[in-house]
């Protein structure tokens, strides 16, 4: 099948590459010539495990091409996937200008039947706007060409996007056009050979499903973060509580890990957008407003712990930071808790030495000019002479460190752990002062 994917960012590039992997002929379009140049030179503009190898393999096989030529891209695919960005507008709503412009380009240049597929995360009603934009362009051209608009939201986790696309839990297709539904079944059938995973519904329900899913996951995270704060006050261990409630099959264990707050390109944006959609429809989504407020507070929890231990004035203090990206296995710094933590610590005069296995180039870009912040090329280099180790992102290489080395390199053996990687009892035994999120520690309590 001939497929065009509009946008070579996170959603578009993963979508196009995985569809090519199944034998389709895919052309990925982007108006950003710099991105296309990176792809043409054999690189990729994002970090995603397994993606570079898949891109290379499918380019070599001739199934995956990249272009800035809008006309050629529109003419190529019967299926036109829109995977462009929908950044939050000033009022929290999703900015659809890139989606609508992509739709207009299809309308300006299409010469035969097209299925235009919203793959980006978009508000309820966007399919109608896309349909209107294409129809307006066809009217201006004075032509009548059949087309269909489909909502097909992505459910990809950064750091596991290739696996999620190739082995989906479900595929949501919002469509009313029977021909379009048949084509969508055809393109996705290789991804669910063992049993049906494709759910067909109307476009508005499909659009709503994406926002509802991300908002539910964000709610679980903020709920556990609030429970962790309370656990510290009442002397409970949130990790034991997590296991206790997670063992209930009605609840499950996923997204019950307390930490430094959620970030990234999806949860913060989608929660804001759904709150805005609710207000526009006369419904105040009070639970989601609380979720958002709790998350913003949680990004300050590590700073509060450091201030409680070392004082409000951190001048003369040096802190080692492990992890900068908003989650492991990605270089995404959008809405990352590390950005708030670093800004607050720097404002109080601390000297910061930061390390991340993957996100250093992006971190240097977004944190440029932060006073007292330096970047180092190893976890050990961050530790040397620091007053404490602060863990922000739970990269695998941080999970089993040499604690003797940590103690030897720190001025004093203090770990502030924003991801609960270590057991408080072990830290007590090793003589390390340990501050987790909602964890109980005899040594910490005595201090």
Residues annotated as catalytic (active site), given as ranges: 266
Check: CB of residue 404 under 8 Å from CB of residue 432.
no
Residue with tokens 């499909």: 206
Q: What is the dihedral of CA 319, 325, 326, 330, to 10 degrees?
A: -150
Residue 302, CB-side half-sphere exposure with 13 Å CA sphere: 32
Ramachandran sector of residue 384 (left: φ over 0; alpha: ψ -120 to 50; beta: rest): beta
The CA distance from 285 to 53, in Å, is 43
The CA distance from 332 to 326, in Å, is 6
Edge-to-edge strand ranges of the sheet holding 2-6: 64-67, 25-29, 2-6, 79-82, 114-118, 147-151, 171-174, 198-201
Ramachandran sector of residue 67 (left: φ over 0; alpha: ψ -120 to 50; beta: rest): beta
DSSP H helical segments within 281-318, as ranges?
A: 286-298, 301-310
For the purposes of burial, counting CB atoms within 10 Å of the CB of 106, is it exposed (0-12), middle (13-18) or buried (19 or more)? buried
The CA distance from 279 to 266, in Å, is 20
**Residue 3 has what DSSP assignment?**
E
């Amino acid at each position: 099948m001939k497929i065009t994917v509009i946008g070579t960012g996170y959603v578009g590039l993963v979508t196009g590459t995985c569809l090519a992997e199944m034998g389709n002929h895919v052309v990925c379009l982007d108006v950003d010539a710099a991105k296309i140049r990176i792809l043409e030179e054999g690189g990729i503009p994002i970090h995603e495990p397994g993606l570079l190898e898949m891109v290379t393999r499918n380019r070599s096989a001739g199934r995956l091409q990249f272009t800035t030529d809008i006309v050629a891209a529109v003419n190529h695919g019967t299926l036109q996937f829109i995977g462009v960005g929908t950044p939050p507008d000033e009022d929290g709503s999703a900015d659809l200008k890139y989606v609508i412009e992509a739709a207009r380009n299809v309308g300006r240049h299409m010469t035969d039947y097209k299925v235009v597929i919203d793959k980006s995360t978009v508000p309820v009603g966007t399919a109608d706007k896309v349909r209107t934009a294409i129809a307006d362009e066809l009217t201006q051209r004075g032509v009548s060409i059949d087309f269909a608009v489909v909502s097909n939201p992505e459910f990809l986790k950064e750091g596991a996007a290739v696996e999620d696309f190739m082995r989906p839990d479900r595929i949501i297709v919002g469509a009313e056009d029977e021909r379009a539904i048949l084509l969508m079944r055809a393109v996705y059938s290789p991804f669910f050979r063992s049993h049906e995973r494709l759910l067909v519904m109307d476009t508005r329900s499909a659009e709503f499903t994406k926002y509802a899913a991300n908002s539910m996951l964000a709610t679980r995270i903020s709920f556990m973060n609030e429970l962790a704060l309370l656990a510290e006050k009442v002397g409970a261990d949130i990790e034991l509580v997590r296991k206790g409630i997670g063992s209930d099959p009605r609840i499950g264990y996923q997204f019950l890990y307390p930490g430094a707050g959620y970030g990234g390109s999806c949860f913060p944006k989608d929660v804001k957008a759904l709150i805005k959609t609710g207000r526009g429809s006369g419904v105040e989504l009070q639970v989601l407003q609380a979720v958002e407020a709790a998350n913003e507070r949680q990004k300050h929890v590590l700073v509060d712990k450091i201030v409680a231990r070392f004082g409000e004035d951190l001048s003369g203090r040096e802190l080692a930071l492990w992890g900068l990206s908003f989650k492991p296995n990605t270089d995404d710094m959008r809405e990352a808790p590390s950005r708030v933590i670093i800004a607050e610590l720097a404002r109080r005069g601390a000297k910061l030495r930061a390390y991340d296995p993957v996100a250093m180039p992006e971190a240097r870009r977004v944190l440029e000019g932060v006073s007292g912040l330096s970047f180092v090329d190893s976890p050990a280099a961050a530790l040397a002479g620091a007053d404490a180790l602060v863990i922000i992102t739970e990269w695998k290489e941080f999970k089993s460190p040499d604690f003797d080395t940590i103690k030897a390199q720190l001025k004093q053996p203090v770990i502030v752990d924003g991801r609960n990687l270590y057991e408080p009892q072990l830290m007590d035994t090793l003589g390390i002062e340990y501050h987790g999120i909602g964890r109980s520690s005899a040594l910490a309590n005595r201090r």
